[in-house]
Structure 1
């Protein structure tokens, strides 16, 4: 795909769809799309970084809110797959975390794909106060979008080689940072 296509408004639309889809199907590369467009923005000058961040934040918040509404209206035990041991463990984990501190959990879960899905479904099923939840999700999504796009933009700014190199390296850096955060989080829990 020529880089020129990634500098058009269509790139923002595709990124937004990927981020929104990532709320439901966690293997969709929403994070990668935001990081890549952050790198393209810094290296090619378009789309504007603020637009990447805004579109990513709105798509992420919309996906999280949709999961909340599904949890609130459908519940978390309607279908057979929701009653499997693995899913029930994840939902119980989410319940305990939400009871401990809603704001902290929502901000943290925004960066952890499977946790994000479980937390948002349980938040809805638990009937957490919607206006407070929506405000926290918007803030968490904005912070996430700034982080993801900034990783790409910073790598592209300091790395010579053009947009393609910037995208590849920024995605590797973002994955590396995510892995490092996972390792540190596990060690802190012990």
Structure 2
């Protein structure tokens, strides 16, 4: 069994036991791990639990958000500790992703951190690269808190909304969630490009700590 199938089976077990009190701890833990280990599909778990209706949405959102924020901060500080030379080694595809993340953080850091959450695997690379390039933590933290809260609310709304229309079809709900993530990313990109002043590299270098 490969990693993806294994994690999907874990999500299935958690969803099947959604009414059990330990599910809250499992949800938080998987959201934390997903912040620095992309194979863990925490978003599909949030969508599934919201579709089931257990735990209640008002508990899923803060637990998932706090877990995601904790995981993002682990990625940031791992990147800051190791630096991009040690952390991001690999083939051409990995190096291309790393170069993209570095460039986007230089040009429009807060936007990059917000939007990367909706790009599969992009969130970990961007957050770790933010640490590796010494992106200001005073900027990173509040932006990441906003990103985590938006993500948790969005995933929960997708699950609850899909359940009201589709019943307990978790596979279809997850598919709707992926499509919604792409749409949310495009909308955020367009809105924040207009709200953020100055998109040139020189003005954005103020995000970097000495």
Shared fold (TM-score, shorter chain, > 0.5): yes
Structure 1 vs Structure 2 CA RMSD: 2.4
CA contact (8 A) 2:84 2:133 kept: no
Corresponding position of 1:10: 22
CA distance in 1: counterparts of 2:142 and 2:96, whole angstroms: 27
Aligned partner (choices 27, 46, 50) of residue 38 of structure 1? 50
Correspondences of 1:1-190 after superposition (within 5 Å): 5-41=17-53, 46-78=54-86, 82-160=89-167, 165-178=168-181
Displacement of 1:4: 6.9
Distance in 1 separating the partners of 2:181 and 2:153: 15
Q: Quote the Cα distance in structure 1 between the aligned partners of 2:184 and 2:153.
A: 17
Q: Note the alpha carbon deviations across 1:13-64, whole angstroms, 9 max, x for none.
A: 22222222222221211110010111122xxxx3120110111111111111
Separation in structure 1 between the aligned mates of residue 61 and residue 164 of structure 2, nearest angstrom: 17
Q: Count matched residues.
A: 176
C-alpha deviation, 1:85, in angstroms: 3.1
TM-score w.r.t. the length of structure 2 is: 0.74
Q: Which whole-Å CA distance do the structure 1 matches of 2:125 and 2:23 have between them?
A: 29
Alpha-carbon spacing, 1:91–1:57, altered in 2? closer, same or farther (3 Å): same
In the TM superposition, residue 149 of structure 1 has moved relative to its aligned partner by: 0.8
Shift of 1:177: 3.1
Contact residue 32 and residue 70 of structure 2 kept, 8 A: yes
Higher mean alpha-carbon deviation, 171-180 vs 5-14, is at 171-180
Q: Which has the higher contact order (CA 8 A, sep 6+)?
A: 1
Q: Which runs of 5+ in 2 are unaligned?
A: 1-12, 191-210
